[in-house]
Structure 1
Amino acid sequence: MSTTIDTTTTTIIDADTLRAWIDRHDDVVIIDVRSAAEFESLHIRGSYNVPLPLLAEHTEDVAQRVGRRVVLVCHSGVRAEQARQRLHEVGMDSAVVLDGGAPAFAAAGGDVVRGEQRWAMDRQVRMVAGTLVTTGLLAGELVSPKLRVLAGAVGAGLAFSAATNTCAMGAALARMPWNRGAQDPEAHVALGRLPQND
C-alpha cells in the first residue's frame, strides 16, 4: 500500500496508512477530538486530546499551531469529520480523518494506550435512545396513549441529529458523572501541548 497521500484532495485515511505515516514521518500530529474520559479509556500513543467543543472554539489557534500532516481521530469518524470541516473553514485543507477512529487503529495493531474502559459515546446514545423509545411505546400501551409522544420526540431528535450532524443527546451524556472520570483540558493546556508548526 502506498503511503503517499495527496492531503489536498483526500479527507479520510485508514489505520494501515496512519501506521505507515507514523513509522516513516516524524511530523505526524494526531489530534483526538473525543472527550477526555473517552481519550483516557483508549487513545493512540502520542496523540493530543483536543475535545471537539474546544477545537470548535479555538479552531484558528489549532490550525496555526500544527503542521501539514494532521490526522483527526474520534471513535467512529463523525466528530473527527466535524473537526476537519472546522479546520477547512479557516484555511487548513491538509487535515485528514482516521476511518474507524482509535478502535480501528487498535484493531490494526497500532500502538495504543488503554485506561479505564467506558462505553463509547455513540454506544451510550444508542442505548439511551433505544430505552426511551421502548419506554414511550410501552407506556403508551400500558398507561396512556399520550405517552407515545416520547418515542416520537426521540425519533425526531435522532432525525434532526442526522440531518445536522450534531448530537444534543451525546453532549448531554458527556456531562454525566460516569463520563467525567477525566476532566476535559482547558484551552491553554490542550493548545500548549500541541507541537509548534515549523
Structure 2
Amino acid sequence: MSTPATLSPAALHRLVREGRAPRLLDVRTPGEFRAAHIPGSTNVPLHTLRAHRAELVGHLDAETVLVCRSGQRAKEAERALADAGLPELHVLDGGIAAWETAGAPVERGPERWDMERQVRLVAGSVVLVTGVAGIVVPGAHLIGTAIGAGLTFAAIRNSCALGVLLSRLPYNRGPRTDLRTVIAELRSSR
C-alpha cells in the first residue's frame, strides 16, 4: 500500500488563506476536537470513520485532508478509506500539533488534556502505586510490569489500548458523533 500524501501545515494554511481550502476531516475524539480544531474542519472520530467508511466514501474526494493530533490516526483513517475505495487522500503532516506550532488559526473550546498526557498519567500512576504497594503486598509490582509491557507493545505496534479505553470515558467523548449529522455537514461544506 502506498504511503499517504502529506500536506505541510504551511501549504494547508496557504490554501486556506487563498480561499482554496480542501475538505478537512478531523479524526480525533469529539472531546479533543472541542478543545481545539482547525476552523472549518468536520469531526469524524476514527472509530466512527472505520465503522461507516462505506457511507462516508461517497462524500469525500482527493481534496480531503485528514487531521489528528500528530498524524498517526490520520494515517490509519487514510488506510481505512483506501480499503473502502478512496485511495488518494492527504494527511496533515504533524497533525494539529504542527498546525498550531506553525501559528495557523485554531478554534478553541474548553481546555482538556490530550490523550497522550492522560495515558502517561494513568500508566505512571499505576506503576507508582503498585511499586510502592509491592513493599507491603508481595507481587503487586507485577501490575506495573504488565503496564510497562503494554506500553512497550503499544510503541512497537504504534497503537494504544489504554488510549482507546480512556477515549471512551465521558470526559473524552464530548458530544456524540451522529453519522447523519456528519454526512449533512460534508454535503453542505462543498
Partner of 1:155: 148
Alignment match of 1:165 (pick from 154, 158, 164): 158
Preserved contact between residue 64 and residue 197 of structure 1 (Cα < 8 Å) = no
Q: Distance in 2 between matches of 1:17 and 1:34?
A: 21
Q: Which runs of 5+ in 2 are unaligned?
A: none
Query: What's the secondary structure of 1:118's corresponding residue?
Result: coil
Is 1:64–2:58 an aligned residue pair? yes
Identity %: 38
For structure 1, list consecutive stretches of 5 or more residues without a partner in the other structure.
1-7
* Separation (CA, whole Å) in 2 of partners of 1:168 and 1:144: 27
Structure 1 stretch 92-101 or stretch 38-47: which is displaced more? 92-101
**Residues in 2 aligned to 1:100 and 1:9: alpha-carbon distance in whole angstroms:** 15
Name the stretch that deviates more: 167-176 or 22-31: 22-31
| CA deviations over 1:50-81 (Å, ceiling 9, x no partner) | 00110000112222211211111111112111
Q: 1: distance between equivalents of 2:34 and 2:3?
A: 32
Counterpart of 2:175 in structure 1 is 183
Aligned partner of 1:93 among 87, 107, 115? 87
Q: TM-score, normalised by structure 1?
A: 0.85
**2: CA distance, partners of 1:119 / 1:105:** 18
Is 154-163 or 184-193 further displaced after alignment? 154-163
Counterparts of 1:172 and 1:9, CA distance in 2: 28
Q: 1:77 aligns with which of 52, 55, 71?
A: 71
Aligned CA distance change for structure 1 residues 103 and 138 (closer, same or farther; 3 Å): same
Q: CA deviation at 1:136?
A: 2.1
| Structure 1 range deviating more: 44-53 or 117-126 | 117-126
| Partner secondary structure for residue 66 of structure 2 | strand
Bigger CA drift: 157-166 or 71-80?
157-166
| Contact 1:75/1:102 (8 A) holds in 2 | yes
Q: Given the alignment, which residue of 90, 103, 115 partners 2:97?
A: 103
Q: Give the TM-score taking structure 2 as reference length.
A: 0.89
* Aligned positions, number: 189
Distance 1:195 1:29 in 2: 11
Report the equivalent of 2:34.
40
**1:31 lines up with 2:33 in the alignment:** no
What is the CA–CA distance in structure 2 between the aligned matches of 1:76 and 1:197, rounded to whole Å?
Answer: 24
2:5 aligned with 1:11: yes
Letter in 2 for 1:105: W
Moved over 4 A (4+): none
2:58 is paired with a residue of what secondary structure? helix
For the residues of structure 2 that align with 1:151 and 1:51, how far apart are their CA atoms? 30
Q: Does the 8 Å contact 1:65/1:197 carry over to 2? A: no
